[in-house]
């Protein structure tokens, strides 16, 4: 009997010791999650948000009339939902640009309308202009010298035609279980390649070299007196063209001639006609407005105030600016719509929030995270010096949505292993709606990086790719119809669940060590 008692007490001691040393289980509020899902799926307003942000108030290039009109609608809707402290925060940006009219026509040898749009920060044509196009592919300083004095008053085709592959695979896809399992695996250790090998299209191996050459091309085109330039875009097929800007938002940079992009099928036809010395006549018209009266834009900020830890903040966000080839549905009216809907759900359900949940919609993401970096520098830390401000200690987490309009399948941990068990616990009740994955990997190219680069816990969700990179990203097909409504409903539910738990968790999300200062190069 004594032996059994001793064995029992030994077992009890070991069990208590193990329990004491084990990490505490993450608290998950299943009741709140159930209510959030019901509201998100049965009373959704997310596609209504998307309608106004695309069909009505788009495009929204930063510091443009469209941006300002869209912001006023958004602020009005957030007021209707009862958010507080709604305001704009000024961001130094640069010249504004918008266009009011575009037309392009092939007149000879046979009439055809041409599909395309003007390139941002290029001027208008001062009424309709007509002329014969010429080919002048400008890829090196030798090309600039070759065509010097030969292009005055010409409409110039500046690209070689791209071979358009026959699409044998569907444009859109969802992540399979195998895809998500591969995302779960950490990337192979190894040095990052900072320099890319030269190609026939670009003999320059760094971005700085490419940017410097583009400035030389702009100077050349302006000084030579080109009437307009036409390109075939960076990619695309089946009537889709991917393109953004042809000039600079910086006032110090001179404006180029009018710049136009055409869908590759139409561009290639023009190129073949000119190459074969067939007489070609084009008629073009662009009405564009370049505004240098104010060089500032703004972020949009609004709060759902917390109760117990009101000064601590969870931020939900995405960028508010879009490109102008279409209405910016997947990039990034979807993200704004999802974050608005997540806030509406939390407010409608009157769920208790200990920390404040903040919405932040950024200006100038397409120019290099201009709005989010300005906000982080103003409120949290200057990445150049890593001098942190008091608010730095008060940010629980930042959650970003900006990888198209696909449903959330999980979250990128941003190399933060400490967040993994927390997010896995929050995702578990969401597995049945497709949100299952965590990955230590990072996704780049969006505003969560502004937070991460100063040591704050900033995260981007894993989203189904759909046709984001194959059809809509920075293209003339980025429209409302490209987004499945169920995907945005699911995404809003997931974002609301993350916001609710981050706002009410006893501790803030664990942080990685502070990075070293990152002076500007």
Mean of the pLDDT values across residues 142-157? Answer: 95
pLDDT at 20: 37
Asked whether residue 373 carries a pLDDT value surpassing 80, the answer given is yes
At 296-306, the pLDDT tens digits run: 999 999 999 99
Asked whether residue 16 carries a pLDDT value surpassing 80, the answer given is no
Q: Higher pLDDT residue, 10 or 163?
A: 163
Mean of the pLDDT values across residues 130-135? Answer: 96
pLDDT at 9: 42
Mean of the pLDDT values across residues 388-403? Answer: 98
Q: Higher pLDDT residue, 363 or 18?
A: 363
* Mean residue pLDDT across the chain: 92
pLDDT at 100: 97
Helix, strand, coil percent values for the chain (each to nearest 5)? 35, 20, 40
Quick check: pTM over 0.85? yes
> Is residue 106 classed as helix, strand or coil in its secondary structure?
strand
pLDDT at 106: 98
pLDDT at 122: 97
- 13-17, 47-51, 196-200, 459-463: which has the minimum mean pLDDT? 13-17
pLDDT at 165: 80
Q: By CB neighbour count within 10 A (0-12 exposed, 13-18 middle, 19+ buried), where does 9 fall? A: exposed
Q: What percent of the chain has a predicted confidence (pLDDT) above 70?
A: 92
Mean of the pLDDT values across residues 60-72? Answer: 98
Spatial separation of the C-alpha atoms in residues 11 and 302, rounded to whole Å:
54
Question: 30-93+295-504: what CATH class?
Answer: alpha beta
| Residue 507 CB partners (closer than 8 Å, separation 6+) | none
Asked whether residue 357 carries a pLDDT value surpassing 90, the answer given is yes
Mean of the pLDDT values across residues 370-378? Answer: 98
pLDDT at 211: 82
Asked whether residue 86 carries a pLDDT value surpassing 70, the answer given is yes
At 217-250, the pLDDT tens digits run: 999 999 999 999 999 988 889 999 999 999 999 9
Structure token digits, residue 213: 């050459």
Degrees to nearest 5, angle at CA 233 with 227 and 235: 170
Asked if 30-93+295-504 and 97-164+199-291 have one fold, the answer is no
Spatial contact of 309 and 149, defined as CB atoms under 8 Å apart: no
* Confidence bin at 203 (pLDDT 50/70/90): low
pLDDT at 4: 45
Residue spans per domain, the chain: 30-93+295-504, 97-164+199-291
Place of tokens 């190459």: 275
Degrees to nearest 5, angle at CA 166 with 107 and 109: 15
* Confidence bin at 391 (pLDDT 50/70/90): very high
pLDDT at 166: 82
Q: Higher pLDDT residue, 248 or 7?
A: 248
pLDDT at 8: 42
- CATH code, 97-164+199-291: 3.50.30.30
Integer CA distances (angstroms), 490 to 143, 421, 432, in order: 52, 22, 11
């Amino acid at each position: 009997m004594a032996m059994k008692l001793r064995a029992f007490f030994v077992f009890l001691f070991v069990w208590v010791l193990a329990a004491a040393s084990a990490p505490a289980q993450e608290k998950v509020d299943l009741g709140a999650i159930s209510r959030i899902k019901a509201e998100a799926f049965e009373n959704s307003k997310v596609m209504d948000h998307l309608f106004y942000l695309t069909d009505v108030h788009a495009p929204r290039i930063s510091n443009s009339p469209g941006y300002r009109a869209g912001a006023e609608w958004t602020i009005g809707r957030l007021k209707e939902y009862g958010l507080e402290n709604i305001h704009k925060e000024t961001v130094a940006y640069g010249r504004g640009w918008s266009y009011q009219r575009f037309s392009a026509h092939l007149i000879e040898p046979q009439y055809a309308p041409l599909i395309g749009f003007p390139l941002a920060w290029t001027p208008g044509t001062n009424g309709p202009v007509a002329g014969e196009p010429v080919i002048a592919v400008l890829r090196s300083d030798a090309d600039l010298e070759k065509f010097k004095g030969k292009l005055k008053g010409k409409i110039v085709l500046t690209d070689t035609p791209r071979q358009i592959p026959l699409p044998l695979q569907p444009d859109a896809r969802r992540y399979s279980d195998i895809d998500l399992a591969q995302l779960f695996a950490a990337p192979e250790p190894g040095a990052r390649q900072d320099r890319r090998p030269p190609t026939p299209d670009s003999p320059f191996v760094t971005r700085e070299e490419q940017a410097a050459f583009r400035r030389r091309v702009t100077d050349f085109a302006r000084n030579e007196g080109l009437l307009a330039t036409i390109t075939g875009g960076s990619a695309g097929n089946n009537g889709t063209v991917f393109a953004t800007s042809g000039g600079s938002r910086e006032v110090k940079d001179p404006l180029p001639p009018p710049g136009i992009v055409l869908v590759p099928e139409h561009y290639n036809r023009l190129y073949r006609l000119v190459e074969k010395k067939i007489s070609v006549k084009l008629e073009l018209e662009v009405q564009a407005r370049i505004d240098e009266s104010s060089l500032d834009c703004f972020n949009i900020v609004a709060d759902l105030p917390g109760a117990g830890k009101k000064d601590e903040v969870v931020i939900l966000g995405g960028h508010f600016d879009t490109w102008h080839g279409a209405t910016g549905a997947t990039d990034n009216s979807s993200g704004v719509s999802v974050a608005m809907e997540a806030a509406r759900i939390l407010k409608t359900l009157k769920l208790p929030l200990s920390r404040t949940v903040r919405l932040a919609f950024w200006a100038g993401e397409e120019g290099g995270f201009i709005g989010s970096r300005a906000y982080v520098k103003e409120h949290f830390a200057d990445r150049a010096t890593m001098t942190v401000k008091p608010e730095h200690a008060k940010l629980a987490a930042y959650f970003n949505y900006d990888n198209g309009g696909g449903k959330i399948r999980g979250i990128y941990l941003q190399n933060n292993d400490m967040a993994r068990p927390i997010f896995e616990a929050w995702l578990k009740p969401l597995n049945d709606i497709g949100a299952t994955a965590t990955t230590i990997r990072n996704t780049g190219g969006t505003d969560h990086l502004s937070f991460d680069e100063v040591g704050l816990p900033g995260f981007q969700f894993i989203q189904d790719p759909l046709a984001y990179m194959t059809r809509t990203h920075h293209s003339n097909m980025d429209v409302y119809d490209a987004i499945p409504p169920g995907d945005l409903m699911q995404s809003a539910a997931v974002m609301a669940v993350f916001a609710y738990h981050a706002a009410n968790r006893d501790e803030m999300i664990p942080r990685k060590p502070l990075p070293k200062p990152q002076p500007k190069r």
